Structure 1
Amino acid sequence: MARSVPETRDGILAAAARRFAVTGYKGTSLQDIAREVGCSKAAVLYHFANKEAILTELMAPAIAMLLALDERLAGSTGPAAQRDAVEGFVELALRFRREIALLHGEFPELLQHPAFAHVQRSSDRLRDALAGGSGRAEAQVGALIVLAGVAAACAEFPDLPDDELRAALLAVARRALAPLD
């Protein structure tokens, strides 16, 4: 019996997620995904224009949450923005641990793709909010460490219960961020 279109599409996404986790985005070909699904490369291309479209679909919920956080932080400054940014980013990272783990080492390069330009802008604004709007090197470096560290911790500790990881991430993030003047 032939697979239904939604079943095939979901299968492609699941196979792509597994392959990206094993060999990375760059190390995975459309043929690898097709082979894992048990279909042809043409069938994969019927559902998705290219590998970037598959990645975009996999990351869409996480990106939507990042954009919503960016919107919530718009116009907010200082300690309130910093607190909201830390809490919002930790929640995003916990909710999308699997996606972060899949692409953790490849984020900087992936953000260079035109399809993810809006993600880079939102990430930059999030880093600015984490720095409390300060341009001081200490605040900017602390914000970058929090962004990278939260993502790394979510990828490194996939089996740690959410409540335990959330508490640890929030405590460490708050210590890493320079107090605002």
Structure 2
Amino acid sequence: MARAVPETHHEILAAAGRRFAVTGYKGTSLQDIAREVGCSKATVLYHFANKEALLSELMAPAIAMLEALDARIAGRTGADAQRVAAEGFVDLAVRFRREIALLRGEFPDLLQQPAFAHIQQISERLVAALAGHSDRPAARIAALVVLAGIAETCGEFLDIPDQELRPALLAVAHRALEPTT
């Protein structure tokens, strides 16, 4: 009996996520994904136009939450911008820590792909909000370290429950960020 198309679609996405986590996005071929699912490369291409489309769908919920955070920080300044940005990014990192971990080390290259190009501008606005829109170098440095540090390490904490990880990350962010004046 043939498998249902939605099930195959989901299996391909899940296999892509596992492969990207093990060998990275660049180190994973469509053939690797097909082999893991037990289908042909043509079947993978029936469901997804290319590897970028696979990654785009895999990351779509996290990107949607990042875009919503970007909208929430728009127009906020000072401590309010910092608070909303820190809480929003920590919530995103906790919820999507597996997806973020998939991109470890490959994020700059992925930003060059058309589907992810707008993420660079959102990241810049997020850093500005985390800095409380301060032009002090120390504030921007702290904001960038918080953003990069949380993104880089959240995949290391897969064994920590969300209700423990969130307050720990927020405490680190609040300690690291420069108070706005």
TM tier, smaller = over 0.9
Deviations for 1:18-62, whole angstroms, at most 9, x for unmatched residues?
100110000000000011111111111111010000000000000
> What does residue 67 of structure 2 align with?
67
Deviation at 1:153, TM superposition (A): 2.8
Percent pairwise identity: 74
Q: What pairs with 1:6-85 in structure 2 (closer than 5 Å)?
A: 6-85=6-85
Deviation at 1:134, TM superposition (A): 1.1
Q: Which amino acid aligns with 1:41?
A: K
Deviation at 1:165, TM superposition (A): 1.2
**So what's the TM-score if we normalise by structure 2?**
0.97
> What does residue 163 of structure 1 align with?
163
> What does residue 133 of structure 1 align with?
133
Give the alignment's Cα RMSD to 1 decimal.
0.9
> What does residue 172 of structure 2 align with?
172
Q: Which amino acid aligns with 2:94?
A: L
Q: Using the alignment, how far apart are the partners of 1:24 and 1:179 within structure 2? A: 37
Q: Which amino acid aligns with 1:12?
A: I
Greater shift in the superposed pair: 109-118 or 82-91 = 109-118
Deviation at 1:131, TM superposition (A): 0.7
Deviation at 1:85, TM superposition (A): 0.3
> What does residue 152 of structure 2 align with?
152
Q: Using the alignment, how far apart are the partners of 2:150 and 2:160 within structure 1? A: 13
> What does residue 120 of structure 2 align with?
120
> What does residue 93 of structure 1 align with?
93
Deviation at 1:142, TM superposition (A): 0.6
**So what's the TM-score if we normalise by structure 1?**
0.97
Deviation at 1:93, TM superposition (A): 0.4
> What does residue 102 of structure 1 align with?
102
> What does residue 143 of structure 1 align with?
143
Give every structure 1 segment of 4 or more consecutive aligned residues whose post-TM-superposition deviation is greater than 6 Å: none
Deviation at 1:152, TM superposition (A): 2.4
Greater shift in the superposed pair: 26-35 or 120-129 = 120-129
Q: Using the alignment, how far apart are the partners of 1:153 and 1:51 within structure 2? A: 25
Residue-pair matches, total: 181
